[in-house]
Amino acid sequence: MAATSSSLSSCLLSDHGIAAGDPAKCYTAKQAVSAKSLSMSSRLRHSMEASRLSSTTTRGPARCCSAVETKISPLFTLGKKFHLDDVIEAQQFDRDTLNAIFEVAREMEEIEMNPSGSQILKGFIMATLFYEPSTRTRLSFECAMKRLGGEVLTTENAREFSSAAKGETLEDTIRTVEGYSDIIVLRHFESGATRRAAATASIPVINAGDGPGQHPTQALLDIYTIDREIGKLDGIKVALVGDLANGRTVRSLAYLLAKYKDVKIYFVSPEVVKMKDDIKDYLTSEGVEWEESADLIDVASKCDVVYQTRIQKERFGERTDLYEEARGKYIVDSDVLDVMQKHAVVMHPLPRLDEITVDVDLDPRAAYFRQAKNGLYIRMALLKLLLVGW
C-alpha cells in the first residue's frame, strides 16, 4: 500500500486522480472508483456549493484555489477532487502536492484572521478518535473544523472511555463511527492502525499519530514551518535530536525532507534511541546525505534547523533504566543558541519536558510555538481538500 511520492504527479492523469497503469507506484489504499470515492460524490457536490457561497463572504477559499491554479499546476484546479482518499503516511506526498497544500494553508491563515470566518465545511461532521493523549493535534484539528464551519464529535481517551475498553475491535469502531461522520481523525497506540482504519472506512481517515509509526500531518506542518521560517527547503541542514527510535514525528519529517534537493540530515541521539535503519536506508536510496553525531554543539553550529524531541517514557515499558539512560543527554539551552546561526531556528513537536530550557523561549529563533500554530493552518487545508477538493 505504501507509495513513493515521487510518482504521484504521474498518478494524477485520470479524472479519479490515480493512474491505473502504474499501481505499484501510486498510493492504492483506495482506488478512485472505490466505495469510498462513490460515497463522497454527493458530499462533494454539497461542499462545492458551500465553497461557492462561502467565497462571497471570505477571501480565503477563492484566492486559495486561484493561487493553486496559477502558481502550482493545472492538476490542482478549482473543483477538482483531491487525489488522496486518506492521509496515512508522509510518502504519499510529492513536491507538487506539498507546494499546493502550502498555498491552501496560506489562504487558511487569511480565513483564520477574518472575523467573518468561513462556512466552506458547513454540514460536515468530523470525528476525532484518540486512543493516546493529545493536546495540540486534537485541539488544532477540532479548531480547524470549526473555523471552516463544520461540526465535531470527539473522544479524547478512546482506549479507556470507548467500547475499546470492552474489547471492541478498531475495525468495528470505525464502521460505527463512519455512520455518524464525514471524516475520521485517528490517533492510535499501534503502528499501522490508521492503515487498517482506512481499509475499513468508506470516508476519509487522517493519521494523527500511530504509535511509533508516523505522524504525517505533523511532518506537513514542520515542513511548512521550515519554509516560513528559513525561506527555503532545498539546500538546508537539519538536526534531528532526541528520541529518534520512538519518535513518529522525526520519521515522517525525514520522509518529507527527502523530497528536497541538497538536504543534509544530522541524527543526534542517545545510543538506546538511535534512528532506525529503515529511515537511514530510505534516505540513502533517495540520495539524501545523513550523518550520526554525538556532538550537539558542533551539529547545531552547522544547521538551519535544530529539531528537538523529548525522550518518550511511555515507549520504554518496564525498562525505566533505559529511559533514565537516555533522558537529559541532549538539551537545547543557551550554550546551543550561542553557536547557532542567526537565521537558524529551534523546533519541537511538543510537549517538551526538560530538553529545551525555558530561557530559550525568549530567543526569536525559538520557533516551536509558531510551529504549533501552523498546525492549525495545515489541518484546515487538509480538511478542506479531503472534503471539498481544490
DSSP 34: S
Active site residue 25: no
Q: Tell me the C-alpha to C-alpha distance, in Å, between residue 188 and each of 40, 132, 215, 330.
A: 25, 6, 11, 28
Q: How far apart are CA 345 and CA 84, in angstroms?
A: 32
| Neighbouring-strand partners of residue 240 | 267, 307
Q: How far apart are CA 119 and CA 169, in angstroms?
A: 35
Active site residue 166: yes
Q: How far apart are CA 3 and CA 5, in angstroms?
A: 6
Residues ≥6 apart with Cβ < 8 Å to 127: 152, 153, 154, 177, 178, 180, 181, 183, 184, 185
| DSSP class per residue in 217-261 | HHHHHHHHHHHHHHS-STT-EEEEES-TTT-HHHHHHHHHHTTST
**Which residue is catalytic, options 187, 195, 228, 348?**
187
User: Which residue has 489562504 as its cell numbers?
Assistant: 107
| DSSP class per residue in 133-147 | --SHHHHHHHHHHHH
Nearest to 153 by CA among 117, 125, 130, 134: 125
**Which residue is catalytic, options 28, 97, 137, 194?**
137
**Which residue is catalytic, options 43, 52, 136, 146?**
136
**Which residue is catalytic, options 83, 215, 237, 251?**
215
- The sign one gets for the Cα dihedral 178, 182, 186, 190 is positive
Q: How far apart are CA 226 and CA 236, in angstroms?
A: 10
Active site residue 187: yes
Active site residue 310: no
Active site residue 56: no
Q: Contact at 8 Å (CB) between 357 and 304?
A: no
To 5 degrees, how large is the angle CA 164–CA 165–CA 169? 25
Q: Contact at 8 Å (CB) between 98 and 378?
A: no
- Active site amino acids: 136-137, 166, 187, 215
